[in-house]
Amino acid sequence: MSNIYAIIFNTNRKLNMSIIQNVQSVRKSIPPIVELVCVSKFHSVENILEAYSAGERSFGESKVQELCSKQEQLPTDIKWHFIGHLQTNKIKYIVPFVHLIHGVDSYKLLKEIDRQAAKVNRVVDYLLQVHIAQEETKFGFSSKELVEMLFAGEWADLKHVRIRGLMGMATFTDDETQIRAEMRSLKTLFNSVKRDFFESDATFSQLSMGMSDDYQIAIEEGSSIVRVGSRIFGERKY
């Protein structure tokens, strides 16, 4: 047994009960049909193992180097979600194992993911990122750009990637009305894209929106995946 697995099963170790309790608390507020991604970026392997010991298997990272390092050290049944802005020159490092890429925001990026996935004979699942927030710093297609890309149809010829749905991040604000409106607009777009392009495709089924501060609103507005970090692990240590 490796040292890292010994940490999991060592009953004499001092458990970080706050993480375990946080996981249990968050779980109670999320319906079983909604997937919880524990956002573990900038948190230690040991902290991830605490959430793992509480039953969690989906974890989200935003830096390729950090993700690859953690993937090598942690149990193989973890489903790794890449939730950051992905650079084309780093795709090759995560395609052998990544479970879902959340933020595909250009056809160029999608084409490179397909090319790298072909090299390792995998089909990589992804979400198309839509810009719904007011902040200019957030990435993603506009609704118009998204529909134009789907109508163009070139994406359908890529054989080593599979679209699972859409992703978006609401404006970082205390205005719940604004957050709800932005999320509702994304749900409306998801429904129209599903109807117009994927009506007979059962795999197009995921809508990822909602983080620690707004995931409950996101669930109410139709999110099927929520990304929760600070409510589980506490504030990040950069």
Average pLDDT, whole number, for the chain? 91
27 CB neighbour count, 10 Å cutoff? 15
Q: Note the pLDDT tens digit of each residue in 40-75.
A: 999 999 999 999 999 999 999 999 999 999 999 999
What's the CA angle centered on 143, arms 139 and 145, to 5 degrees? 80
Fold observed for domain 3-233: TIM Barrel (3.20.20)
Q: Could you tell me the residue ranges of all domains in the chain? A: 3-233
CB-based contact 141:179 (threshold 8 Å) = no
Residues near 137 by beta carbon (within 8 Å), at least 6 away in sequence: none
Instruction: Tell me the pLDDT tens digit for each residue of 189-205.
Output: 999 999 999 999 999 99
Query: Is pLDDT above 70 for 2?
Result: no
Residue 114: pLDDT above 70? yes
Instruction: Summarize the confidence of residues 148-166 as an average pLDDT.
Output: 96
Answer whether residue 17 shows pLDDT above 80: no
User: Which pLDDT band holds residue 139 (cuts at 50, 70, 90)?
Assistant: confident
Cβ neighbours of residue 28 closer than 8 Å, sequence gap 6 or more: none
Please give the share of the chain, as a percent, with pLDDT higher than 70. Answer: 90
Instruction: Say what percent of the chain tops pLDDT 90.
Output: 86
